[in-house]
Chains A and B, each alone.
Chain A
Amino acid sequence: MSGITFAKALNEGLRRAMERDPKVVLMGEDIGRLGGVFRITDGLQKDFGEHRVLDTPLAESGIVGTAVGLAYRGYRPVVEIQFDGFVYPAFDQIVAQVAKLHYRTRGNVAMPLTIRIPFGGGIGSPEHHSEAPEAYFAHTAGLRVVSPSNPQEAFTMIQQAIACPDPVVFFEPKRRYHDTADVDLDAEPATDPRVLPMGSARVVRPGTDATLAVYGAMVKTALDAATAAADEGISIEVIDLRSLAPLDSATLEASVRRTGRLVIAHEAPRTAGLGAEIAATVTERCFEYLEHAPVRVTGFDIPYPPAKSERHHQPDLDRILDGVDRVLGRPNSLSGVPADGVEASGGGDEHRA
């Protein structure tokens, strides 16, 4: 279908999943008649009925906990959390129940839930509407965490997430909801060779000088940065991670072995974020191939700021290129600025002594 939005692609993916499996039920706040605050479920209640698309009371733990019971009964619930910052009341049910029940029951009870969360900033919202809480979930054994970056993959990945026998936390980059692209609605997620498995990363732009690992809304920013870098003769390989848990480390490692340099960019705060895990994994496995320590370009370690300040918090094209300059040893914002403590102690060897 030519020229449909990311939001419409998700809607079409949900529709396919509901047509394919009568046990798929959608649950959430305002998702029925209204079609959700972002209209992702627009028209689905009208077409599938109130028994398939359920408007729930306003209680996130209640939504997820009830979905757990439905899964016990053999249903395949798809839960919408209205905004990233509202998932925390459901955190206990997600982390203590959804993630652990298959393990607790030694495989007797499956939890094929999909928990959809619009995430990230860039839409000028008040507090609690722009967060990037993916690391909490990526840290939790038993969950799979994915994030599509474009309409085509929004369409296929939501179907893969719903079909997955494990619980999937599905992060939707809300500032891309209105991005438009041609989407092949005939692409069958299970059989079409063009459709990657849900857990695989994708090299979205090949390059030779540095690897730039990103996901969600940041993929478009990274591609724009790579285009700008090419004007200066720098070739950046952009990897769309797609799956945050598990990480497709094989694709990352293969890329870093070619480029020798790694930059990771995400909106979420830096400390214990996905960038830390990626940098550690790649360093452990590709140390001898690295020409420079991995560089993280991330949101700051602050609560999400007011909308008028978010452009400073979110990595943009220029901050990503500054990170690329750092990893390439080119002049950058930190050129000549010593890392903490190293200068004072007179260098690495003396520091160790």
Chain B
Amino acid sequence: MQRMPTVSLLDSPLPVPGSDDDVLRLIGPTGERTPNSDLDPWVSDVDDDALVRMLTDMAVVRRVDLEATALQRQGQVGLWPPLLGQEAAQIGSARALREDDFIFPSYRETGVAYCRGVDMLEVLRLWRGAALCGWDSVKFGMGTAQIVIGAQALHAAGYALGTKLDGSDAATITYFGDGATSQGDVNEALVFAASFQAPVLFFCQNNHWAISEPVRVQAHAPLAGRAAGFGIPAVRVDGNDVLACLAATRRALDRVRSGSGPAFIEAVTYRMGPHTTADDPTRYRDPNELDLWKAKDPIARVEAHLVSRGHDAEELRAQLQRAADEMAARLRREVVQIPDPGPLDLFDHVYAAPHEQLERERREYSLYLAQFDDSARFEDNPGGPGGKDGAAAPQAAQDTEVAR
């Protein structure tokens, strides 16, 4: 009997989407520096001092992350999405950006925001529940923390199209995770970016987990491989190697700026913490896997690398500790000072132009509030009727009488 020909697509072993065997790497898990002729030219200016600065960035945002988690446990923050383990992917890529580049992040890009100069208190303002976004998107060149998975990728494609129409060489970068690559919006963004040859860099942090779903639920082959189908060049980089992330992002941005269209980076990293403080990874994750990735820690490897070059380990750690302590103390001190919005702030900025129907709702709610003994009903609320809005309530009541 004649043997059936094998169908290679089905039978050949496919690369595993979570594997980091074939990634671009400059500093390995134990701190060893590997030469790479593609990436080395892009970081030839990075001396030990520059590496110490990026190491400090990583240590500080890790501390922000731990502090925010603690503040959530204490009830000072409503929810927190940790970036623990993803510091290198975020710091390395964000330090490659120019000031006039624009960022469309997901909700986990604390490290990117830090590099952008955003006050970490503004990040906490969102997660405390005092605002829907802390920072000014225009001032920092960074869109709002996007909670709808993958929606921001389209905004990046559109913004990049705008820079192209403007004749600017500014680049746009969008951050998203492995889970988001399954979303229609991310795929449509890749289509639109390719169609318009928009100068946008798609930066996927494959952190292996979309809440409880491992990356193999999203894909059966490395995520970076998808970009080729859209006609977009892609690389897989060690997302726990800050130097490789910096180099790969610089190289991709250079291509994007030159008018050669979009690019795609898959940074293979690992979410060492829970999805958010409301999540419990022990229900779905093998603890051995976590140990495996602890051995690839993005911070420890840079420390080891610097020590191997003659830096004093104790001194280095003390220096990082000081920077992190200073940040943590300030966050602890000031997060409790973030005021609640006033009740009538509810109605602000829904529209840019006047809206009589909404103004009527504001007037009616202010009349409702005006009935109460402010201090008794809202004594814990500094923005309540006893605050600035409350003082305005009687006037609003008069206005409403006139309007009626």
Contacts and interface: CB of A to CB of B under 8 A. Distances in A.
Nearest to A73: B162
B357 A246 contact: yes
Interface string A70-99: 111111000000000000010011001100
A122 interface: no
A72 B188 contact: no
A246 B349 CA distance: 15
Contacts of A71: 158
A105 B158 contact: no
A61 B183 CA distance: 11
A76 to B, nearest CB: 11
B185 to A, nearest CB: 6
Interface string A32-62: 0000000000000000000100101101011
Interface residues of A, number: 49
Contacts of A51: 165
Given A62-B188, A96-B148, A246-B358, A70 B159 contact: yes
A65 B159 contact: no
A104 B188 contact: no
Contacts of A142: 350-351
A309 interface: no
A73 B133 CA distance: 18
Contact of B154 (A66, A100, A109, A245): A66
Given A105-B144, A166-B352, A166-B353, A65 B157 contact: yes
Contacts of B161: 66, 69-70
A276 interface: no
Contacts of A166: 351-353
B136 A97 contact: no
Contacts of B136: 105, 108
B155 A141 contact: no
Given A61-B184, A75-B162, A93-B154, A106 B137 contact: no
B184 A73 contact: no
A101 B192 CA distance: 21
**By DSSP majority rule, is chain B's interface helix, strand, loop, or mixed?**
helix
Contacts of B158: 65-73
Given A61-B154, A166-B351, A108 B138 contact: yes
Nearest to A245: B357
A136 interface: no
A103 B154 CA distance: 20
Interface residues of B, number: 45
Contacts of B162: 69-70, 72-75
A314 B69 CA distance: 57
Contacts of A106: 131-133, 348-349
A23 to B, nearest CB: 9
Contacts of A249: 357
B165 A104 contact: no
B191 interface: yes
B156 A69 contact: yes
Contacts of A54: 196
B68 interface: no
A96 B350 contact: no
A92 B188 CA distance: 14
B316 to A, nearest CB: 39
Interface in B344-402: 348-353, 355-358
A93 to B, nearest CB: 7
A248 to B, nearest CB: 8
Given A51-B165, A57-B188, A164-B353, A72 B159 contact: yes
A199 B156 CA distance: 32
A246 B191 contact: no
A73 B159 contact: yes
A168 to B, nearest CB: 10
Contacts of B104: 69
A102 B153 CA distance: 19
A247 interface: yes
Contacts of A93: 151, 154, 185
B276 interface: no
B352 A107 contact: yes
Contacts of B154: 61-62, 64-66, 68-69, 93
B137 A66 contact: no
Contacts of B189: 62, 65-66
A109 B138 contact: yes
Nearest to A99: B350
A25 B158 CA distance: 12
Contacts of B102: 72-73
Interface string B167-206: 0000010000000000011001101100110000000000
B160 interface: yes
B151 A97 contact: yes
A36 B351 CA distance: 30
Contacts of A321: none
Interface of B: 102, 104, 131-133, 136-139, 143-144, 148, 151, 153-163, 165-166, 172, 184-185, 188-189, 191-192, 195-196, 348-353, 355-358
5 contacts: A64-B154, A73-B166, A75-B162, A106-B132, A108-B139
A-B CB proximity, top 7 nearest: A69-B158, A65-B154, A73-B162, A62-B188, A66-B158, A165-B352, A69-B159
